[in-house]
Chain A
Amino acid sequence: MLSEREILSTYEMVKNEHLDVRTVTLGISLFDCVSDDPGRFRENIYRKITRLARPLVRICEETGNKYGIPVVNKRIAVSPMGILAAPFSPQEMVKAAKTLDQAAKDVGIDFIGGFSALVEKGSAAGDRALISSLPEALSATERVCASINLASSKAGINMDAVRLMGETIKDAAEISSDRDGLACAKLCVFANIPQDVPFMAGAYLGVGEADAVINMGVSGPGVVKKAVDRTLEANPEADLGVISETIKRTAFKVTRAGELIGREVAERLGVKFGIVDLSLAPTPNVGDSVGEIFQSIGLESIGLPGSTAILAMLNDAVKKGGAFASSYVGGLSGAFIPVSEDLNIADAAEKGYLSLDKLEAMTAVCSVGLDMVPLPGDTPAETISAIIADEMAIGVINKKTTACRLIPVPGKKAGDRVHFGGLLGESTIMEVKKGNSSGFIRRGGLVPAPVQSMTN
């Protein structure tokens, strides 16, 4: 028998706390589409994607409807294009991106990820062609997302690729300058990229994955915040152990909801169920913010001293709840701190509570990294590479995923406003320290993989 409390707390989570399934991402392996003829290759990938993904949107909507939990986004992640299209030129890569875009449009999904390259130790011809096609591919398409893995704890940091990506990000911003550098919002660089992330822009289907697989992204910063608020209302003196327990329990519930829906969607699509990724992924709406959780716990604003400690606790409690709820937790699983996508974090940046330096420190304990950070348009490519190098180092040494999604907004300076629209939100451009990092970046090479013992 169901209890009144179980029913009402679920009602509350859905109606007033923004509980939703953030994304159902269908991973599709495209290795069997490979051809030495670029036209044939494009035809093959279009056919396979549309064949498998045609019922995705309808099934997600019906399943969401059945359980009363909306599935906000339906997405696709494919095998890394840098490998699939390895013999092709950058121009052919752009055409392949357009095919992905068209396939995504035709099955009614908003983003398709996997325009990706894995270059943590070195790059092959296909990877280089893909990277040099990025500015055009991302500005000529609407729905294609790109990710480049630049480093790993087992391989080290490919500094040549880090340097190249600094330049590529600048070029991508420039080519989409009429939209405030929007192409960069669809481009993410990683250390230790997971093979099964369902969230964009980093989603791609790893080479060790099945032919087709459903990975779920569940969110719920609003649910966590309300749970913390309720705990503190009932017991204003609750300590951090109690708050951590509340977050853990809430993460359990949210993950369970995601797994139930994911398994049903996978079964109805006739594909394998992969993982649930519970990531507190904010949207630019009041009540759906990670920053607000910091305020509930007692910090005037995210970015102030204490932020890294709170984030560490939050990220860990979310992982613990998720791991207990499902045996197949994957992806990033933790808390995101994207600047423009979170009203409260964007506000902290505008008021000066949150600096780029503090944000970087926080990424050492969050689940991703410097996400949706708008930078002054005149930031040199080498400085962007240096910011990326720092972020990669944090991931490599800590054996965790880190990433950068940086947008050097053309023609704008620190303190100016930038508006990306929709889920990508808006923010004030953050200040970057003046000074020159180019000597370091120009050195290039591979930063060796770190020693795995002597962990102090």
Chain B
Amino acid sequence: MPEKLVLSVLGQDRPGIVALVTRILAQNNCNIEDLTQTILQSEFAAIIIFTSPEGAALKNLENDLQAQLSPLDLSIKIKPMHSRQAEQKTNQPFVITTLGRDQVGQIARLSEAIRDLNCNITKINAINRSELYPDKIVMIFEIDVPRETDISELKKAVARAAAEMQLGFSVQHRDIFENIHRI
């Protein structure tokens, strides 16, 4: 089986980064399986999972990427992917929303509370100057909650953390958003 690899690309955003990186992969006969890319303020970040043909020299690919991306001030990293055994999906998707004044340590405090209950953050988003709350910072944590975790315990833990930092908060099963807003 061809080896799975992970490539991350990070640097200042500009048009053409995805085109360049994916062309280099194609020239090296690498097949992209999954890709995500985002822009945060002015910074570009991408994670690409791909397979390369058996016996292909990884070094060549890495050299090609370095040679063409370094001049653009983009940093890359390649590593082999060690996928864990597929876990049985028994988690429940929840969304934690917090709202308040921006302050140091906010995300650390909340994510520690989430970790302590064995919940895994699958997506996290901090929004400054949102349309609805222009003067506040809104944090949205999408998390996987193990079946055995008591939701009211999770709520209490988030409530404690939110109270310390004077944040408004809500903890809701993800289905409510899809049901309310989508047909």
Q: Which residues of A contact B (CB under 8 A)?
A: 1-2, 4-15, 62, 65-69, 253, 256-257, 259-260
- Complex: A62 Cα to B171 Cα, angstroms: 13
Knowing A68-B176, A257-B179, A260-B176, the reply to whether A4 touches B130 (Cβ < 8 A) is: yes
A-B contact list, 11 entries, CB within 8 Å: A5-B131, A7-B95, A8-B97, A11-B170, A13-B180, A67-B173, A68-B173, A68-B176, A257-B180, A260-B175, A260-B179
- Complex: A4 Cα to B177 Cα, angstroms: 10
Instruction: Please report which residues of chain B, range 145-183, place their CB below 8 angstroms from some CB of chain A when the two chains form the complex.
Output: 151-152, 155, 168, 170-181
Structural contact, A4 and B127, CB atoms closer than 8 A: yes
Structural contact, A4 and B138, CB atoms closer than 8 A: yes
- Complex: A7 Cα to B138 Cα, angstroms: 10
The 5 closest A-B pairs by CB, nearest first: A68-B172, A67-B176, A6-B181, A260-B179, A253-B180
Structural contact, B138 and A8, CB atoms closer than 8 A: yes
* Chain A residues, CB < 8 A from B144: none
Structural contact, A4 and B170, CB atoms closer than 8 A: no
Instruction: Please report which residues of chain B, range 105-134, place their CB below 8 angstroms from some CB of chain A when the two chains form the complex.
Output: 123, 125, 127, 130-133
Shortest distance between the CB of A389 and any CB in chain B (Å): 42
Knowing A2-B142, A65-B152, the reply to whether A8 touches B133 (Cβ < 8 A) is: yes
Which residue of chain B has the shortest Cβ distance to A249 in the bound complex? B181
Which residue of chain A has the shortest Cβ distance to B93 in the bound complex? A2
- Complex: A256 Cα to B170 Cα, angstroms: 19
In the assembled complex, B140 has its CB within 8 A of some CB on chain A: yes
* Chain B residues, CB < 8 A from A14: 170
Structural contact, B174 and A2, CB atoms closer than 8 A: yes
* Chain A residues, CB < 8 A from B151: 62, 65-66
Shortest distance between the CB of B44 and any CB in chain A (Å): 19
Shortest distance between the CB of A439 and any CB in chain B (Å): 55
Structural contact, B97 and A6, CB atoms closer than 8 A: no
Which residue of chain A has the shortest Cβ distance to B123 in the bound complex? A1
Structural contact, A7 and B177, CB atoms closer than 8 A: yes
- Complex: A7 Cα to B130 Cα, angstroms: 12
* Chain A residues, CB < 8 A from B152: 65
In the assembled complex, B99 has its CB within 8 A of some CB on chain A: yes
Main secondary structure of the interface of A (DSSP, over half): helix
Structural contact, B177 and A68, CB atoms closer than 8 A: no
* Chain B residues, CB < 8 A from A1: 123
* Chain B residues, CB < 8 A from A69: 172, 176
Which residue of chain A has the shortest Cβ distance to B175 in the bound complex? A260
Structural contact, A11 and B180, CB atoms closer than 8 A: no
Structural contact, A68 and B130, CB atoms closer than 8 A: no
Shortest distance between the CB of B40 and any CB in chain A (Å): 14
Structural contact, B172 and A10, CB atoms closer than 8 A: yes
Which residue of chain A has the shortest Cβ distance to B132 in the bound complex? A8
* Extra inter-chain contacts (13) besides given A4-B140, A67-B176, A257-B180, CB under 8 Å: A2-B140, A4-B127, A8-B133, A10-B181, A11-B99, A15-B168, A62-B151, A66-B173, A67-B173, A69-B172, A253-B180, A257-B176, A260-B175
Structural contact, B132 and A9, CB atoms closer than 8 A: yes
Knowing A7-B140, A8-B132, the reply to whether A2 touches B179 (Cβ < 8 A) is: no
* Chain A residues, CB < 8 A from B123: 1
Knowing A65-B155, A67-B175, the reply to whether A11 touches B181 (Cβ < 8 A) is: no
Structural contact, B138 and A68, CB atoms closer than 8 A: no
Knowing A11-B170, A14-B170, A15-B170, the reply to whether A6 touches B177 (Cβ < 8 A) is: yes
* Chain B residues, CB < 8 A from A256: 179-180
- Complex: A253 Cα to B180 Cα, angstroms: 5
Shortest distance between the CB of A150 and any CB in chain B (Å): 39
- Complex: A6 Cα to B178 Cα, angstroms: 8
Shortest distance between the CB of B76 and any CB in chain A (Å): 26
Instruction: Please report which residues of chain B, range 52-104, place their CB below 8 angstroms from some CB of chain A when the two chains form the complex.
Output: 95, 97, 99
Which residue of chain A has the shortest Cβ distance to B181 in the bound complex? A6
Which residue of chain B has the shortest Cβ distance to A230 in the bound complex? B132
Shortest distance between the CB of A68 and any CB in chain B (Å): 4
Shortest distance between the CB of A105 and any CB in chain B (Å): 25
Shortest distance between the CB of A259 and any CB in chain B (Å): 8
Shortest distance between the CB of B167 and any CB in chain A (Å): 12
Which residue of chain B has the shortest Cβ distance to A8 in the bound complex? B132
Structural contact, A4 and B125, CB atoms closer than 8 A: yes
Which residue of chain B has the shortest Cβ distance to A261 in the bound complex? B176
Shortest distance between the CB of B179 and any CB in chain A (Å): 5
Knowing A2-B142, A8-B130, the reply to whether A253 touches B176 (Cβ < 8 A) is: no
* Chain A residues, CB < 8 A from B138: 4, 8
